[in-house]
Amino acid sequence: MKEIEISKKNDTCQTFCYDEEVIERVQPKMVGIRGVELIFKALSDATRLKIAYALTLEKELCVCDVANILGTTTATASHHLRYLRNMGLADYEKRGKLVFYSLADDHVHQLVRIACEHAEEDRYK
């Protein structure tokens, strides 16, 4: 291991060192994380996260329902729902003059549910 003195803070290493085997094993896998980054970016917006959460509570919601749940316009709700759909996190179905959205699959449902459970732990209160 290579070491260089760089920090005196308690929340960082006091010396710079790294394990070359670990770096060689993990670093190439960072390329595949791009899709995950985009998912979290999409859900980092409070409105989109609230929509995704609402869709964990109901199997599907129409754009008008989402707008009323959030207290926004249908244009705003539609914009965020379309973003979630374009990111592969939501699906939609048009029925006459109404458009209904649902989460794309159980992975998205679990991701939102687990994040909500994690946020409810005592460490965030």
Range of the domain at 41: 11-124
Whether 1 maps to a domain, the answer reads no
- What is the number of structural domains in the chain? 1
CA 84 to CA 38: how far, in whole Å? 11
Whether 17 maps to a domain, the answer reads yes
Whether 5 maps to a domain, the answer reads no
Whether 6 maps to a domain, the answer reads no
Which stretches in the chain have pLDDT values below 50? 1-2, 7
CATH code of the domain containing 78: 1.10.10.10
Assign 90 to helix, strand or coil: strand
pLDDT digits (tens, 9 = 90+) for 2-19: 455 554 557 777 778 889
Whether 46 maps to a domain, the answer reads yes
Handedness of CA 59, 83, 88, 53 (dihedral sign): negative
pLDDT of residue 9: 59
Whether 63 maps to a domain, the answer reads yes
Using alpha carbons, select from 64, 49, 47 the residue that is nearest to residue 99.
64
Q: What is the pTM of this model?
A: 0.82
pLDDT of residue 12: 75
